A and B are shown apart, each in its own frame.
Chain A
Amino acid sequence: MDRFLSYVGRHTDDLLQQGLEHATVVGTAIVIATVLGVALGVTTWDRPMGRAAAVATTGTFLTIPSFALLGLLIPLLGLGWTPTVVALVVYSLLPITRNTIVGLREVAPAILEAARGTGMGPTRTLLRVQLPLAWPLILTGIRVSTQLTVGIAAIAAYVAGPGLGNEIFDGLSRLGSKNAINQALAGTLGVIVLALAFDLLFFAVRRLTTPRGLRV
């Protein structure tokens, strides 16, 4: 234990740097996946075929083993940040897309009828009525995706991606040598702390962005 703490003490700067990169790569992927997933949900939610296809496709993505996906991306996108972000986006799509679809479908028909009846056009209805009402569910989807990708991002070190995965991989590759376990452990704990930090962030975001009328 002492040895682990002293390891962390000596490598704080590295760990923070990698933690920050880890958070950045996850954050970037989540922002992109949110834009894509919500767009996919918005365009397919009221078409049975379309939404089934959207959920099935993004669901299939999730079954690809992460090593395989990252490896297959190397010839296309090379090493580093790009394949990492792309892979994380691919894994994030299902929860966000599916929750967008469910959230939009849960808006009562009477509310859409009222929106149409008061002269709101489709865009205004989407932005002022449908998305705000679906937002709590969409946000849940984003949160699930984030939890998922914080873990998967650790494997990105395999394609020379950024983040705490480097600590883990480094450590594991030097097993037996001094501090190898401590290094892998520090990386792993870092991932867990990061996941908790993201969760806390979502708690705050949920409080701040859920329309008041849906909370009362």
Chain B
Amino acid sequence: MSDHASPTATVPAGTVPAGTGADADGETATRHGARIELADVSKIYAGQEEPAVESFSMVIPAGELVCFVGPSGCGKTTTMKMVNRLIEPTSGRITMDGEDLLSLNPHELRRRIGYVIQQIGLFPHMSIADNVALVPRMLGWDKRRTAERVDELLHLVGLEPGRFRSRYPRQLSGGQQQRVGVIRALAADPPVMLMDEPFGATDPITREHLQNEFLALQRRLRKTIVFVTHDFEEALRLGDRIAVLGERSRIVQYDTPDRILAEPADDYVRSFVGGQAAIKRLGLIRAGDLDLLPAGSASLPSVRVDATLRDVLDAIVAHRAQRIAVVDSDGRVRGELDFDSLTAAADSGGAR
């Protein structure tokens, strides 16, 4: 396992959960993602004539988060669940770092793949700690290692272990339960995670909070993630790539969010993008990722380095400003941006 530092991408301020500072003091080295390949995978449900998924082929590079978006019933869940074999493919091949998943024992396979669902499915009769410790225990981890891992993960999502460890699921808010659902899936440090509309049942504010928090987590963990969502905005915010799926899980476009916004493959994809594609693209690029103009002496309205260009545009309009200063988290000015910087960035396709 390489010990290169976590990705340098800046994390949005205020979304880093308490305790992520624990990085340095001996946190177990995380296992990064594995490359997943689905080749010509089909699923025909028993008693049905039409396949639910037809000849689906996709490569998911190691450490990337891929969002499946598409209309209800198009086969997103079916496709995703074939990876951990909750649904057995009718035909095709699925590999994880080259290893043929269909030849493995499905129970053992699932312990190596994190799984998060919209309904969360915490076990109500088990404490939070027992819920999180489930897979490590099945894998035979010793007590101490398991307990340490549970506390580490609770910290990671901002749930103080002392307060939450021995609570029960129904003593937690919906958002807190969903965080536990996520860390239960992460417990044994699987290289791959499958997430089926994990934040779909939460209110918009909690959802955005969970998304940001999860994004910050993923920037450090670099798992390979299949993330199913109805919400195109969510896909834009979280996905390294987005797969826009049609009937029977047909891949209409599989591309980075920026490319999907800039060059939607057809009207179908365009309908997902909706309006304001240019503004949405600005929302994908962070101010700190651009070459900034040198800072002048004038005092300007400012945004943080982790703000998006959409925020910069907002500041330009709101303050009727020619230029906006970009500042560090400790308030130091890094440089400036003007309107032309935004259009130039949009032309060059962002920094991804």
Query: Does chain A bind chain B?
Result: yes
A interface vs B, CB < 8 Å?
A: 108, 110-111, 113-121, 124, 129, 132-133, 211-214, 216
B168, A118: Cβ atoms closer than 8 Å: no
Q: Give the Cβ gap from B221 to chain A, nearest Cβ, in Å.
A: 18
Encoded as 1 (CB less than 8 Å from any A CB) or 0, chain B from 111 to 130 comes to: 10001010111111111000
Alpha-carbon distance A133/B109, docked complex (angstroms): 26
Chain B residues near A116 (CB-CB < 8 A): 86, 110
Q: Is residue B170 contacting chain A, with contact meaning CB distance below 8 A? A: yes
A118, B117: Cβ atoms closer than 8 Å: no
B interface vs A, CB < 8 Å?
A: 84, 86, 107-111, 115, 117, 119-127, 134-135, 138, 168-171, 184-185, 194
B135, A119: Cβ atoms closer than 8 Å: yes
A213, B126: Cβ atoms closer than 8 Å: yes
In the complex where A110-B119, A110-B121, A213-B170 touch, is A118 in contact with B135 (Cβ < 8 A)?
Answer: yes
A216, B171: Cβ atoms closer than 8 Å: yes
| Pick from A111, A133, A213, A216: contact of B121, CB under 8 Å | A111
Alpha-carbon distance A111/B120, docked complex (angstroms): 8
Look across to chain B and name the residue whose beta carbon is closest to the beta carbon of A110.
B119
Q: Give the Cβ gap from B111 to chain A, nearest Cβ, in Å.
A: 4
Look across to chain B and name the residue whose beta carbon is closest to the beta carbon of A133.
B125
Count contacts between A and B, CB distance < 8 Å: 74
12 contacts between A and B (CB under 8 A): A108-B119, A114-B121, A114-B123, A118-B110, A118-B135, A118-B184, A121-B107, A124-B138, A212-B125, A213-B170, A214-B125, A216-B168
Chain B residues near A213 (CB-CB < 8 A): 123-127, 168-170
Look across to chain B and name the residue whose beta carbon is closest to the beta carbon of A116.
B86
B124, A114: Cβ atoms closer than 8 Å: no
B111, A114: Cβ atoms closer than 8 Å: no
Chain B residues near A120 (CB-CB < 8 A): 107, 134, 138
Q: Give the Cβ gap from A96 to chain B, nearest Cβ, in Å.
A: 20
Q: Give the Cβ gap from B19 to chain A, nearest Cβ, in Å.
A: 24
Look across to chain B and name the residue whose beta carbon is closest to the beta carbon of A215.
B168
Chain B residues near A114 (CB-CB < 8 A): 115, 117, 120-123
Chain A residues near B111 (CB-CB < 8 A): 118-119
Q: Give the Cβ gap from A120 to chain B, nearest Cβ, in Å.
A: 7
Alpha-carbon distance A119/B184, docked complex (angstroms): 12
A-B pairs, top 5 by smallest CB distance, nearest first, are A114-B121, A110-B119, A117-B115, A119-B110, A211-B125
Alpha-carbon distance A77/B185, docked complex (angstroms): 56
In the complex where A114-B117, A213-B126, A214-B124 touch, is A119 in contact with B171 (Cβ < 8 A)?
Answer: no
Chain B residues near A110 (CB-CB < 8 A): 117, 119-121
Look across to chain A and name the residue whose beta carbon is closest to the beta carbon of B121.
A114
